[in-house]
A = this chain, B = another copy of it.
Amino acid sequence: MTDLSRDIERLARRSREASRTMGELGSRAKDAWLEAAAGRLEAHKAEILEANRVDLAEARARGLAEPLLRRLDLGGKWHDMLAGLRQVAALPDPVGEITRMQVRPNGLRVGRMRIPLGVVGIIYESRPNVTVDAAALCLKAGNAVILRGGSEAFNTNGALAEALRAAARESAVPEDAIALVPTVDRAAVDALLKLHRYIDLLIPRGGPGLIRKVSEESTIPVIKHDAGVCHVYLDASAEPEMARAIVRDSKIRQMAVCNGLETLLVHRDAARSLLPDVLKALHEEGVEIRGCERTREVFTEAREASEQDWREEYLGPILAVRVVGGLDEAIAHIREYGSNHTEVIVTGDYRNAQAFVRRLESCVVGVNCSTAFSDGYRLGLGAEIGVSTSRLHWYGPMGLEGLTTQKFVLYGDGQLRE
């Protein structure tokens, strides 16, 4: 065992201890910390933004690409980040809720009580605002959090975490409930991945390389936020104006997000009547159309789609389009090429709507609405720590409840089995 892995283990052990205190805190104490954190961040805004400037300058000198620099830049996100803390404070506390209390025939009362997961590890890249967002959600749900940000945001993350810990010192939240891995050494991640004794859940937030590494090497349960290859299927009975508007909103509103539309499927009976209008509007707004043969017959500006296009998460101004024989073929396409993220049918047909919703296994399945609703806030979760595309524990956009579990509680008056 190296000195580093010993240090990381010590850090995680302190997190475990802090998580026990966290689990016993009431909402008022946790909300007081959230308020104090907002205050501390505001008070140290100048230092934090200065640390961010240092990170940005280094990143620019190292030739980091423009989109990554934008993610790293905290300035424009400051207001949202602080507002987020106060929003989380206003959310109902999930901890302690008892559901489905029932009385067994012998009089034993059995229910399930919601409790924190314990210690949550977040491994993320670039965006330093995750330090604050993730800590707020994890602690509000009664957990301790271990944060491991990207090396390019090292100074910013350090300044942010220090403000969060300073807020803890002013409140009943233990300081060790917020831990930041204090090194850019990648061996620290390797050490973290093995600490299942002290860490209950890992959430990697970053590119496919990071997600693969964490899920393959970790002995701790992982919630993956994989690619979003989202589909809209225009059924033969789709109302043309609704079809046009939903496709446009799903594709154009924001392109670089995981719930954006990537592949449009169209019933062959509607290809001629629906597609030209729908695609013309997108094309005029600068979206490149890559279509199957049938698509190119009705919309000649389309380029030829390759097999690879069906699997692509473009995150940009390209749309793949395929004409299918009907609902079964649309479902088969989504199962073969999709990523279990978000799928929408536009239809006027009751049976097709129900079959689409019932049969597809993706984490968000909708009828006659934009894919852009696949988002924790829009679905009423109050906040979002990520979108789980694996089915265990939580499936889909995940908020506070996904950061908790349920234990069984039994209230008896002397019941025996014998």
Contact = CB atoms under 8 A, between A and B. Distances in A.
Interface of A: 20, 23-24, 96, 102, 104, 108, 110, 113, 115, 117-118, 196, 200-201, 215-216, 219, 221-222, 239, 242, 245-246, 249, 253, 335, 344, 353, 357-359, 361-370, 372-374, 378-380, 390-397, 405-418
A331 to B, nearest CB: 9
A24 B374 contact: no
15 contacts: A23-B361, A108-B369, A113-B357, A201-B392, A216-B219, A249-B418, A362-B407, A363-B407, A366-B409, A366-B411, A367-B410, A368-B414, A370-B415, A372-B417, A393-B393
A115 B361 contact: yes
Given A117-B392, A393-B392, A412 B361 contact: no
A246 B391 CA distance: 39
Assembly stoichiometry (copies): 2
A23 B357 CA distance: 12
A396 B391 contact: no
User: What are the 6 A-B residue pairs with the smallest beta carbon separation, nearest first?
Assistant: A369-B412, A366-B410, A372-B417, A393-B393, A249-B416, A221-B392
A288 to B, nearest CB: 21
A409 B361 CA distance: 11
Contact of A246 (B358, B364, B394, B414): B414
A405 B369 CA distance: 23
B380 A102 contact: yes
A197 to B, nearest CB: 12
A259 to B, nearest CB: 9
A117 to B, nearest CB: 5
B361 A253 contact: no
A412 B96 CA distance: 33
A245 to B, nearest CB: 6
A394 B115 CA distance: 12
A221 to B, nearest CB: 4
Q: Which of A113, A394, A406, A409 has the most CB of B within 10 A?
A: A409
